[in-house]
Structure 1
Amino acid sequence: MNWFCWVRLLSSLCIHLSCGLVESKLQTRLIYGREAQLFEHPYQAAVVSNTKNFFLICNGVLISPNQFMTLSFCLVHDTASQLKVILGWDSVNGPANSFQQTLRVTRNKLPNKNEIKDGIAVLTLATNVRLNKNIQIPRVDTWSSYINTSCVTIGLGQTNADDPQMLSTLQTASLYVISKEECISRWPAEAYYLRNPRYICAYDRFGRPEGQKAVCANDEGAPLLCGQQKNVLIGLLLLQPQNCDGDQLSIYLSMHDYKKWL
C-alpha cells in the first residue's frame, strides 16, 4: 500500500485517495513528545463535541477573539450547535480557562473536490474570547521562512499505534522543518504528493530519545509553532504514517496560503 494510504482512528470519515483509490481512514499522531508545562503553549486550542461528553474532535488555534481555526475534514458530521471550543487548558480532566459555544462553521471552498484533506474550517464563536497569558493568538507566517529550524507541535493522542488509550495531558514535541527538495529526496516515492505547495514537511531530526513518549493518533489540527518564542503559526497537523517512528515524515497544512480567505 502506498505510504500515503493511512488509517485515521478519530472518525469514520472515508475518502478515496489517488493511491489506487483505496478507501481508507486517516491516522495522525504527535511524535515523541513530553508533557507540556501548565499553560506553556497559550496558542493551542481544541474543538469538542457538546453531544458526546465533550469528546475531543480536533486541535486548532484561535485566529481572532471570536474565531477558531481547524481542519475542515474534522467537522464533516458536526453542526455549530454541537461544538464548543476550549482554550487555556493542558489536561482533558483539568479546568479550561475558557469554554466557547460555536455560532457558525465556515469551510473554505476547495479548488478540487478530491482535495478534501486540504481544507480548513473557521468556527465563529458566540462571544469574544478574553485574551490573557493563557490564551493568545499566534502570528501567521509563511513556512519557507522557517526551513532548517526547529519548531514545536502540541496535542493529545495515543502513545502507541496499537494502543487505543489516549493521553490525558497535552504533549509537546520538537520537529524540524525541511525544504521541498530535501523532503522529496528523503521520501522520493511520495514526490507527487509532496510537491503540493500547501504541504509542509517536518520530522524528528534527532530521533527518539530513550524514555520519551510517542503520541500516535487523535492530533489532527495540532499547530506547528515556530520562531524564537514559538508564537508563529505556520501549519496544522494533517497527515502521518501509521507507525510511531520519529524519523518518519509529518505533513502539515500551510496556513499562510489561507490568510486572504480568512
Structure 2
Amino acid sequence: MLLSVCILLSVFSLSGGLESRIVGGREVKPHSRPYMVSLQYKRQHKCGGMLIKDDYVLTSAHCLDKTTNYLEVVLGAHNISQNEKSQQIIQVEKYIPHRNYTRNDFTYDIMLLKLKTKAVLNEFVDVIELPENNEDIPARVECSIAGWGMEKPGGEASTVLLEVSLKLQFSFECKNRWRNYFNSEKMICSISNGKRAFCQGDSGSPLFCDSKLQGMAAYTDPANCTSKKYPEVYMKISAFLPWILKNIKRL
C-alpha cells in the first residue's frame, strides 16, 4: 500500500496532478457563488480559490510554482473564456504558503494571497464567510464543490463554473488508503461514486456542507479522478483558522 501511495505522489510531482477539476458536474447559476476565484497564468485557469477579504484569497499551497510571479486573480467570473463585464482581474502582491508545507507532506497545503489592490465588492464579487470554530464534520453529509475544469478525466476544461454534489466519508477510509499522507485533524475525506469528483485544475475551491464552508479541494488520484479506490482529500479550513487570522492581521 505504501508503495502505491509513493507512486501516486511521484506522479503528482511530475505531472502537477495535485491540481484538480470538476468531473460530472452541472453548470452553476451565473454569479451565484460571488466568492469564487480563478487563479490564472497567461489567461489560462490554473487553480481555484476563494475571496475571504477584499484583498485576500485562500487557496492551495501546491499552486505555488515557478509561474506564480505571473499569477492573476480573476473575480466575478462565470465564463472564464470571455471578458465578462463583471470580472475583476487583480495581480498578487504576496504569496503566503503555510510555513510547514512541503511537496512531500500535504498536511499544510494551504496558502493566502495578498492582492495588490482591493476587490470592489458588489453583486458579482463578495467575500466568503469562514467557519467559526473547529468542529467535527460527520460522514455521509451531503456536500458540494464548484470549479472550472475538465468534465471528464483527460477531457477538455470547462469554460463555465460547474458544481458537483458528493457525500463525505469516514476519515479512516482516507487513512487506510493514504496512510501518513492523510491527517484526520486537518483534512476531510470523500470517495467518488465513479461519476462525480473533483480532478486536475480545481485545487483551492471551497467545499460546502449543509450550506457552510468546511473544506478546500486538495488532492486525489491524478490517474483517475473518479477512482473509487483512492478517496479525495480536502483541507479542513476550520483547523487553520488561527493561522489564517494571524496572517491577515499581520500584514
TM normalised by structure 2 equals 0.79
- The equivalent residue for 2:237 is 255
2:141 matched to 1:166?
A: no
Q: Specify which of 79, 83, 86 is matched with residue 74 of structure 2.
A: 86
After superposition, the C-alpha distances for 1:145-172 in whole angstroms (9 at most, x for unaligned) are 4543211101112223233x21111110
Mapping for residues 1-262 of structure 1, pairs under 5 Å: 2=4, 5-6=7-8, 14=13, 25-27=16-18, 28-49=20-41, 52=42, 54-80=43-69, 82-94=70-82, 95=84, 96-110=86-100, 114-115=104-105, 118-141=108-131, 142=134, 144-145=136-137, 147-163=139-155, 165-181=156-172, 183-184=173-174, 188-204=176-192, 208=195, 216-227=199-210, 230=211, 232-241=212-221, 242-245=223-226, 247=228, 249-262=231-244
CA distance in 1, matches of 2:200, 2:102: 27
- The equivalent residue for 2:247 is none
CA distance in 2, matches of 1:8, 1:61: 28
Structure 2 residues not aligned, in runs of 5+: 245-251
Change (3 A) 1:115 1:191: closer
After superposition, the C-alpha distances for 1:83-136 in whole angstroms (9 at most, x for unaligned) are 221111111123143211222222221076732573322111122212223222
Normalized per residue, the structure richer in helix is 2
Change (3 A) 1:180 1:214: closer
Change (3 A) 1:25 1:193: same
CA positional deviation for 1:26: 2.1
Change (3 A) 1:93 1:117: farther
Change (3 A) 1:92 1:192: same
- The equivalent residue for 2:248 is none
Change (3 A) 1:240 1:139: same
CA RMSD of aligned residues (A): 3.0
Structure 1 residues not aligned, in runs of 5+: 15-22
Amino acid at match of 1:254: K
Mapped contact 1:86–1:100 kept (Cα < 8 A): yes
CA distance in 1, matches of 2:101, 2:235: 15
Change (3 A) 1:190 1:83: closer
Amino acid at match of 2:158: L
Amino acid at match of 2:143: C
Mapped contact 1:6–1:25 kept (Cα < 8 A): no
Greater shift in the superposed pair: 95-104 or 238-247: 238-247
Seq. identity, %: 22
Amino acid at match of 1:198: K
Mapped contact 1:33–1:172 kept (Cα < 8 A): yes
CA distance in 1, matches of 2:44, 2:10: 16
CA positional deviation for 1:190: 3.3
Mapped contact 1:161–1:244 kept (Cα < 8 A): yes
CA positional deviation for 1:218: 1.4
Mapped contact 2:35–2:125 kept (Cα < 8 A): yes
